[in-house]
Structure 1
């Protein structure tokens, strides 16, 4: 089940406003170009920002996410963008509601998992299963590229100092986001986002739990699923805090 921050319609509608600017996604666009990817599967596509950008760059894209509310936002944004584009400049994404099980047996060049996607899989066996699903969708030599936080950077310590933020969002009004760090029981970290909608006085919370996978857990799961690690890069938007794995299907 997806967290409320992604699957509650009112929270999905404000997600991009609070997450902007998504500088991390420029890195994935550059990687898709670097590896000459033409067919891309964006697993955990959320509101579809990366999937639509990849399509606009000429890729054939499948966007998959378990949060129906986020996919509704993605589809609406794509429709809005297509209204201002000429038919030849109006790329489309195939949106699929579900998990990695929805990855088709295909010859895609690239599978991406951005943001927290790789860390929502709380068991090592679950991670292996997701990687195996990704392998099913890739051609031999195709790549899986994803990011995950280095546990040694202890990101949750900085999260605990996150100040409340208030944005005035078109069509919604002022919304205040408050972050609350929950239990830290490594490798698991829990936290809650609370949103207060000033216009209505409503408050809606969303609890999340992530696993900070070790380097060894990740490489072992990749190898079990049929991948070889080509390279592990530093995340340009979070230098020294994240690993960007580039794994090639054997």
Structure 2
């Protein structure tokens, strides 16, 4: 049993498996609105967002702990314009980024308060003065994981997938049984579904100020039924209204 992204035979199917991502355009527009010259992407995966940002003239730092994913990222269009780093958030350079992002629900890979504080602390350290951090988590009240379980095989690129889901408090583990390219794989991945209080406590704990929130990729507000909690926070800003971006 292994993590999906650490399995080279499956990592190359990631972009197809995650096609139709609505977050990519959102973050590209956000980087443009903030005039973020330097963007750091924690957990860059196969580099889809990094490629899009680089194509629009941003200097991009793509950070990814899984070598299998990073290998694919280095082959994306405009990959030669991205500074690729293999490692965790601790590898981010100090005080370089105007915007640090965690997309594709990367923020849910930090399974307790200590690891969440640690990644936020490194994200803040990587920011220039008045820089921003942006990320999203799924709204736990919506229980999106209920759609992840299916015992009958479903077709995926190159084969089929069956998936089980285990819930333990705010931790959700999905176990996939893959048949891909004539080979069998079992993968396991655990995500945290934090409360809104968990998210806010982490930001406050490292000195980041929430300045804007959204409940979905169309810009709708956060609510108890919104599928996403999307957060923009600032390093050095005291906004007069909690949902207005800091002036640059």
TM-score by length of 1: 0.86
Residue 87 of structure 1 is matched in structure 2 by none
In the alignment, is the contact (CA less than 8 A) between 1:193 and 1:207 conserved in 2? yes
State how far apart, in whole Å, the 2-side matches of 1:98 and 1:11 are: 20
Cα deviation digits, residues 153-176 of structure 1 (max 9, x gap): 1112222358643245xxxxx321
Aligned partners of 1:24 and 1:237 also within 8 Å: no
- SS of 2:90's partner is helix
Matched residue, 1:235: 216
1:176 to 160, 176, 190: 160
> Of the candidates 176, 181, 188, which is equivalent to residue 193 of structure 1?
176
Conserved? CA contact 2:148–2:174, under 8 Å: no
For 2:99, the equivalent position in structure 1 comes to 110
Q: What value does the CA root-mean-square deviation take over the aligned residues?
A: 1.9
TM-score (normalised: structure 2): 0.87
How many residues matched? Answer: 230
1:131 aligns with 2:120: yes
Q: How does 1:3-152 map to 2 (within 5 A)?
A: 4-77=3-76, 81=77, 92-152=81-141
Equivalence for 1:204: 185
Q: Tell me, in whole angstroms, the C-alpha distance in 1 between the residues paired with 2:20 and 2:112.
A: 31
The one-character-per-residue Cα deviations of 1:149-207 (angstroms, maximum 9, x if unpaired) are 11111112222358643245xxxxx32122221x211111111122202x42x111210
Identify which of 224, 233, 243 aligns with 1:247: 233
Distance 1:163 1:124 in 2: 36
CA distance in structure 1 between the partners assigned to 2:37 and 2:230 by the alignment: 21
The corresponding residue for 2:148 is 159
